[in-house]
Amino acid sequence: MSDRISNMHIAVRPYERLERNGASALSDAELLAILIRSGAQGMSAVQVANEILNLDSAGEGICFLKDLTLEELISCRGMGRVKAITIKSALELGKRSMNHHPFWKNTQIKSPEDAISLLEHQMSDLKKEEVHVLLLDTRHRIIRHVVISSGGLASTGVFPRELFREAIKSNASAVVLAHNHPSGDPKPSQDDITTTQSLHKAASLMGIDLIDHIIIGRGESTSMKREGLL
């Protein structure tokens, strides 16, 4: 079998299929093949892409790619340093495009699902616990997204002060709190519940509405409001 996309039949070439049908019409393997460009001896670029996708032993789907190291990519048949770097670069560009300020600004949070869909893109693959906050206006549109702490909720001596300082500075009427559980389990701990309820009372005294606390896991997240804990 040819090892170059250019030698594939025009009807099945990923480049031409993307031009003709749009990127959403391509399979994960075809999109990866475009980045890989060429295969190896006896393998097409699409086959090399499938070698990479076969590393998904946990069945996470395409999101598993973000956790692959350069060494793991290079270990696949048909891969090399430049191809692996190209894939890592494309993944980082995709991540940054979702987190860029204009993407967040003025987005309205109407439900826990709205907040979760935005926050999971940035927080689900964090290796350490972080505390983030969405600062909202009176119509619950995002004013700013702020990282409050990289030490988790346990750093309560600093965290409440930083939270309210940022909210007041941005003239926020409401906030959505979020932190991640690097273990992947989004179930709230007793400390999570106690701290959230204390912060909710403190926010109310300042005229700020803490509308939700989202706990980001791996592949799933928990809204404390939806669970009746807020």
Asked if residue 229 is part of any domain, the answer here is: no
Q: Could you tell me which residue, 137 or 61, shows the higher pLDDT? A: 137
174 and 162 in one domain?
A: yes
Range(s) of the domain holding residue 189: 101-223
Within 10 A of 33 (CB to CB), how many other CB atoms are there? 26
- Within this chain, do residues 42 and 94 fall inside the same structural domain, yes or no? yes
**Is there a domain that residue 68 lies in?**
yes
Q: Which of 33, 29, 35 is nearest to 3 (CA)?
A: 33
H or E element in which residue 222 lies:
strand 221-223
94 in the same domain as 120: no
Q: Which amino acid is at 87?
A: I
* Amino acid (one-letter) located at 148: I
For the cut 80, the answer to whether the pLDDT of residue 144 exceeds it is yes
Q: How many domains does the chain have?
A: 2
**Considering 67, 82, 99, which residue would you say is the last residue of a domain?**
99
For residue 2, pLDDT beyond 90: no
Domain end, chosen from 66, 99, 132, is at: 99
Mean pLDDT of the chain: 85
**CATH number of the domain that 208 lies in?**
3.40.140.10
Distance separating alpha carbons of residues 187 and 104, to the nearest angstrom: 26
pLDDT attached to residue 1 = 40
> Does pTM top 0.75 for this prediction?
no
Q: Same domain for 195 and 118?
A: yes
- Confidence label for 154 from pLDDT (cuts 50, 70 and 90): low
Residues 71 and 50 in one domain: yes
Q: Regarding predicted confidence, which is higher, 166 or 2?
A: 166
Do residues 94 and 107 share a domain?
Answer: no
Better pLDDT: 206 or 99 = 206
Identify the residue whose tokens are 């048949």: 77
In a domain, residue 152? The reply is yes
CB 227 within 8 A of CB 196: no
Q: What is the pLDDT of residues 108-122, one digit of tens each?
A: 999 999 999 889 878
Mean pLDDT across the stretch 148-163?
69
The reply to whether 84 and 143 lie within a common domain is no
